[in-house]
Amino acid sequence: MLPRKLSQLGPGVTWFDFNGDGWDDLFIGAGRGGRLGVFRNDGHGGFVRQRAKAFDAPMGRDLTTVLGWQPNPTNLVLLMGLANYEDNPMKAPGFREFSIVTGAADENLLLSSASTGPLALADFDGDGDLDLFVGGRVLPGRYP
């Protein structure tokens, strides 16, 4: 018996200033079929839900992590971990890279059978650039 469902951890969240106003905005991940929640910080202690076609597409998989990143001064990116524990175990886990500026989205698959867990950005190799760490969480069909 599992002490809790591995498929229902709750949504990943991140604080990230996506509009450059100096206030961190709130992004809340979603489960499969749900929509990414985007809330703009109004700078007065409140938040306003942002509706945009780019943010309103239903998720094809559960989002394990949502992470904001600015790879260069002209681009803002959301990185979203994509779980595969509800899919066919042979379907590769991965993450989605979504450009807030252009609206372009790329799904990157990983060479791993473990479902995507945490994401983190750090300069792992000391070259001055941020590197993406993608942690594994659970092997589909197997209790960890």
- CA 41 and chain centroid, separation: 19
Q: What angle do CA 55, 97, 68 make, to 5 degrees?
A: 75
**Whether this model's pTM surpasses 0.85:** no
Backbone dihedral region for residue 60 (phi beyond 0: left; psi -120 to 50: alpha; all else: beta)? alpha
3-state helix, strand, coil in the chain (%, to 5): 0, 40, 60
Dump pLDDT digits (tens) for 69-115: 888 888 888 888 877 666 555 566 677 788 877 777 777 766 566 67
**59 compared with 6, residue with greater pLDDT:** 59
Q: How far is CA 45 from CA 16, 87, 103, 140, in A?
A: 16, 40, 28, 41
Match 């993450």 to its residue by tokens. Answer: 95
Dump pLDDT digits (tens) for 26-82: 998 887 778 888 999 999 999 999 887 767 777 777 777 888 888 888 888 888 887
Query: 73-112 burial string, b = 16+ CB within 10 Å, else e?
Result: eeebbbbbbbbbbebeeeeebbbbbbebeeeeeeeeebee
